[in-house]
Every structure is written in C-alpha cells, then in structure tokens.
Structure 1
C-alpha cells in the first residue's frame, strides 16, 4: 500500500494530539516548507530519515522513442533522495 498525505493525516489524528483539521494543516505546512526549500535549491535533511537535494542536469542528446529522431533535452533540475544509514538499516533488517 502506498502512504498518502491522507494516511499521514489519519495517523497523526489517531494519536489524539490534534483535531483532524489541525493534523491536515500541520501536514500541508510541513510539505509546503519542504517544497519551498527545494525550490530555492537548498537541501532538506531529516535526521534518521534522509536527505533531499536538488541536482542540476546538463543539456544532453536524446531521441524520440516513437520516431527514433534525435533531440536535445533541455537542462533541468531534479530532486534526489539519499536515505540515512538508520533508515537503510531498518529497511534491511526485515531480510
């Protein structure tokens, strides 16, 4: 099952610390802060979870898969994620 924002809100609400509306606002605010930080080209480091970074991709040659025609792909920015050692260990502990 995929974890969605709605699932996160429900789990936060289930802890009985916040109302459902407050839980939704907290989750939305958190994701907005993360998005704004990444838009500014800054990294987001969450201890024990991982690091989100913005990387620059240079212009490169590619091809249209339907026609085989060569094309130039524009330079762009992409978000990468590297998980922390703690998270990696937890994921691999299930083996």
Structure 2
C-alpha cells in the first residue's frame, strides 16, 4: 500500500489489484490514507497514551514520513486541477 501511495503522490499511473472495480481510484486512495493514518495514530497512542490530540497531530504532520506522504498526496490531488480529486484531498489532509 505504501508503494502505491508513493507512486500516486508522484503522479505515476498506479493501482492496486485489491481495489474493487466499483470504487473510484481517488476514493480508494482516501481509504488507504485513512488506514495509514489510523495505523500511525493508534501506534503512537499505544506508546504514549498521555499525548493530547494536538500533540498527536503535531507529531504526525511534523515528524513522520507518513505525514509527509499524506501531505504530498493531498497536494498532488489539488494540483491535478480535477475537482473530484480536489474534493477528496480535502478529507485527506486539512
């Protein structure tokens, strides 16, 4: 999934065989990003249960490769000029 998201963030033509045919690619990217973010946040909360929500957000967006990847995906989706992709990107990184 990470390689798929990395390739997508660079604008490379990519897909995953696991994506159901009825799910549009931008929406599938969103599902993958949601899973990635959940993995990061749940792992961090298990390690540091005392962290507040702002601390978790600062850590993810400022200190992790996952946060950088998600930001790159959102930027790519906006930069395509495709309105549907831009709408999906709003839910990926706000």
TM-score under structure 1 normalisation?
Answer: 0.33
Compare the two structures and name the one with the higher helix fraction. Answer: 2
TM-score under structure 2 normalisation?
Answer: 0.34
Select the structure of larger CA radius of gyration.
1
